[in-house]
Structures are given as structure tokens and as C-alpha cells.
């Protein structure tokens, strides 16, 4: 499918569209149209995410991390926060790292913070449209997480 001169798989366009719509629903329903790390911290304990979907997202993130040859902390700092991205607080980055490693901690909060970074990178990030097809599994997993949230 050609989108503004870029050849993208139709499935990529569909998954990004689903992710965007579900993120809009999530932000409206849970964050009163203003999602940010502070709001995520407030609501995370009230949100239930399907554990398998959450674990699968962490698995996809780890696959991507391995492609880049990064440790978890590097992936959070450098890949989830690409050049010119506003840095998250250290506490939030640590929670995201705990989510990626699926270690003890606030996994729901970490998952939501990662989704927030994916959203920010999509809307405000580097704008490398030619790389979107390579992120299809990331968007599939992120969409599945958002679909699993009751509300």
C-alpha cells in the first residue's frame, strides 16, 4: 500500500490504525484525555491487563532489544527514548525496565509507560516511515494489550 509515496504493508497500516484508535479510547476512558506518567502512576493499580498479552509485549520488546544488542536499561534509555525525545524520570525508566525483564515490581504501570512511549514515538518521534513495517510485531503486541484492558 502506498501512503504518501511510502510503500507499507497493509497489515502495518491496519495495526498502527488499531493501536491509535485503542490508545485514544484508553486515554479518554482512563486518563480524562491527558495521559502522562503521573496519571499512569495514579491509575495503574485499577487497571487489569491480560497477563499473557502483557508478557508477550515484554517478549517482543526483548526481541527488539536483542536486535540492537542492548541491555534492558540501554533499550529503555536509547530506543524507547530516541534522539530529541523528552526523557522520562529515572523512576519511570526503572519501572519500564522491570516490565521488560518481567521482574518484581509494578508490571502494569511499566507496561502502560511503555505503551505511552510507543505512542509518543509514533506521534512525536523520528518520523522514519520506511521503518514502520519492521515494527509490525511491536504494534500487534501493543494493540493486544490495549484490547485486553477492560473498561
**Grid cell for residue 21:** 484508535
Partners of 3 in the β-ladder: 6
Distance CA 50, CA 86 (A): 29
pLDDT on residue 84: 80
pLDDT on residue 128: 72
pLDDT on residue 83: 84
Distance CA 140, CA 23 (A): 13
Instruction: Judge whether 146 and 115 are in contact, CB under 8 Å.
Output: yes
Partners of 6 in the β-ladder: 3
Distance CA 45, CA 30 (A): 12
pLDDT on residue 6: 84
pLDDT on residue 129: 77
SS3 34: coil
Tell me which residue of 124, 115, 117 sits closest to 88, measured CA to CA.
117
Taking residues 75-79, report their average pLDDT. Answer: 95
pLDDT on residue 151: 62
Instruction: Judge whether 41 and 109 are in contact, CB under 8 Å.
Output: yes
Query: Does residue 31 have a pLDDT over 80?
Result: yes
pTM (predicted TM-score): 0.94
Q: Quote the distance between the C-alpha of residue 90 and its chain's center.
A: 17
> Which tens digits make up the pLDDT trace of 79-138?
999 888 889 999 999 999 999 999 988 999 999 999 999 999 998 876 677 788 899 999
> Which tens digits make up the pLDDT trace of 41-74?
999 999 999 999 999 999 999 999 999 999 999 9
Amino acid at each position: 500500500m502506498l501512503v504518501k509515496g511510502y510503500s507499507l504493508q497493509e497489515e502495518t497500516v491496519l495495526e498502527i490504525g488499531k493501536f491509535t484508535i485503542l490508545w485514544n479510547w484508553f486515554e479518554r476512558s482512563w486518563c480524562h484525555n491527558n495521559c502522562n506518567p503521573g496519571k499512569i502512576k495514579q491509575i495503574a493499580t485499577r487497571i487489569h491487563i491480560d497477563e499473557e498479552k502483557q508478557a508477550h509485549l515484554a517478549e517482543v520488546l526483548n526481541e527488539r532489544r536483542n536486535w540492537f544488542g542492548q541491555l534492558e536499561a540501554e533499550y529503555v534509555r536509547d530506543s524507547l527514548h530516541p534522539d530529541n525525545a523528552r526523557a522520562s524520570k529515572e523512576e519511570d525508566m526503572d519501572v519500564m525496565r522491570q516490565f521488560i525483564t518481567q521482574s518484581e515490581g509494578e508490571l502494569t504501570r511499566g507496561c502502560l509507560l511503555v505503551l505511552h512511549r510507543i505512542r509518543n514515538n509514533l506521534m512525536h518521534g523520528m518520523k522514519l516511515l520506511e521503518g514502520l513495517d519492521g515494527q509490525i510485531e511491536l504494534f500487534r503486541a501493543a494493540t493486544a494489550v490495549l484490547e485486553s484492558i477492560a473498561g
